[in-house]
Structure 1
Amino acid sequence: MKILIIDRDPEASQLLSSKLIAKGHEVLEERVKSEAIDKISADGPFDVIFIDPSPMKDASAIILNIRRAISSYPYVVLVTGDENLDIESALVMGCNNFIRKPLDNQDVEEKLENAQNLIDMVVSIGDESEDFPSAGGVIAKSAFNQLFLSAIDRGSRYSELAHVLSIGIKNYSEIESRDGPYGAEFAISKLAHHLVRLRRQSDIIGQTGKNEYSLLLQRIQHQNEPREAASRFAAALEELDDIASATSTPIEIYVHLTSLPLGRNEPEYLLIKEGQTPASAG
């Protein structure tokens, strides 16, 4: 990834830079916060921006200016020595996450992994090369993308956390190759039918890939609600047998939860639905 470090402390900046370069990332540094936007315009776009706003306590103004000045969506990590700062405070400033000084290698790695997760989702869901039309309670990919980006924006402005629950067929291409397009399309259409039936009324569902549907979980009432939703969908899908009724190939269904705007992945469920044997399929 291409990373910018904004920190007036040369020792701290170089220490973080050396850690990132050792992991294969391209890193640039900027000491003067007021010149950060010029740096971003001249040398960007950047995938990740680490910013230490000190001596200022609040980084809201500079982060807002950064977001306004560029069209891309960088993952912004607040670097702080404030032991009392929490994730909600960092989100309100416009960040995706925060990290404390002195820097912990594992914490840095975790934030970079989260950043890559979110970047991959933004690229994948925002890919306009193929759209999927609205049908049967499922909205188009392009419409889902607008709501997805809005959820990220609200999260990094108002600390409104949301989650994307991605559910799809992992071995779709294998099924398509072995059982033909009909078998693969039948399986994914059956999956869509069940997801629409199982979702809550407030859950927005869109087709985000040929083999994938995503639900946008918003208005979270309690911390464990998204995990409970993922578990509920996994348990319900485990009980269904008709998804694999038109294939001889076992179908691998994944249930994957990602928090917004953190980009943190939760544990993934992988369900195996045994296909029909050639004899029974006939």
Structure 2
Amino acid sequence: MYKILLIEDDLSLSKNISINIKKWDYEIKTIENFQNILEEFIEYKPDLVLLDITLPYFDGFYWCKKIRDISKVPIIFLSSRDSNMDIIMAVNMGADDFIKKPFSTEILLAKIQAILRRAYSYSDELSDIIEVNSAILNISDSTITYGNNSKELTKNEFKILQILMKNNGHIVSRDNLMRFLWDSEYYISENTLTVNINRLRKSLEDIGLIDFIITKKSQGYMIK
């Protein structure tokens, strides 16, 4: 079942869209706290976003950029604003479609179905991010984001953090990390792994992630 996140402050319209979308066996979540949209997006992990332009606090263009910074999930703008500049801005921000209000639910559903087919026809799941304890690892560009700070990781830093975050709460042994990093028949010194771990820790500290990776003596490493 595909999950849709609806970001719309018109309660009547939001309720109407939700009722009709559920009839087509989609799961839908509506935003109620318009100050924490990105946090709810990360937690819900939707397959598609319906996004109004005029919203409390920050407009839809702002939230579209925030979402695009961490994900390629399809975004459809819904708005009564339809000037050429609005449409151009929506496209430039990474929107997949723009629907002018008022619209029929049949048109909306047809566009949702078409975009979902295009986005997921060759994949059961599209995931661009891994999120642990408010730290966001972006798979597409090898960046780690925490709060308002981001850092681009080296190839080995990214690979180490990726496997640790995917195994959040579990110890990853040094042997498994070394096999993942250097899939080679040649011997790699354990000190080389230690150097890479220390470099990664320094990169994480640069954006405020202190003691994010902990050492389990004689066992390996894990996310705190």
The alignment's TM-score, normalised by the length of structure 2, stands at: 0.48
